[in-house]
Chain A
């Protein structure tokens, strides 16, 4: 059973560029959340997607946007990159509902995409 997979694993961009990160959730999961982890910090919640809609959002500017596809995979897009966007971007999946009932939403994390902005 494949876990959460993310691509690319590493990438380098320059200021002002745009980047797209991709995530495939764990089999059976319907919800994808994205987190930013700066060096030496704990992960910070960016947003969550469920049923192809953004359901919750953390304190991140509109330069951060996302998408969820019908197969539950997701993309994170960051426009107009700043040096401060350099971080490990973590995708986490969970199963929000089962049999019409809400589940507790335990997260399973991928290994992340490390973005360096020069």
Chain B
């Protein structure tokens, strides 16, 4: 069974500082990997995804993530955080089956990001 671990429940950074959110997954083969962001009371917005190819993927809002197969990790990074980045971030893994995840994702418990001015 696939699983996702986000070790940090809550991270606080200063505006303008760099950010790295950790994600470790468990899956028997190469999975589909995703990062979503959720503002309070809102749905999930896709930041970026990894399906295949280049292991460094670029997303929206200046975020990037690197897939490291040897470490089973897919950490999210941003070089300079803005106050509007304060939200909850979820890492998710989807199983591959005939080229699709079939919409079934396993999510981590999330990391709450607080940004200080």
Contact = CB atoms under 8 A, between A and B. Distances in A.
Interface residues of A, number: 31
Contacts of B57: none
Interface of B: 4, 32, 34, 36, 41-46, 49, 51, 90, 92, 94, 98-110
Interface of A: 4, 31-33, 40-45, 48, 55-56, 58, 90, 92, 94, 96, 101-112, 114
A48 B101 CA distance: 11
Given A42-B109, A94-B103, 4 more contacts: A42-B107, A58-B104, A104-B101, A105-B100
Given A106-B46, A110-B43, A111-B42, A56 B104 contact: yes
Given A48-B102, A96-B102, A105 B94 contact: yes
Nearest to A111: B43
A1 to B, nearest CB: 15
A102 B105 CA distance: 17
Given A43-B90, A106-B49, A111-B43, A48 B103 contact: yes
A107 B90 CA distance: 14
A111 B42 CA distance: 5
A42 B101 CA distance: 18
B3 to A, nearest CB: 11
A102 B51 CA distance: 14
B99 A31 contact: no
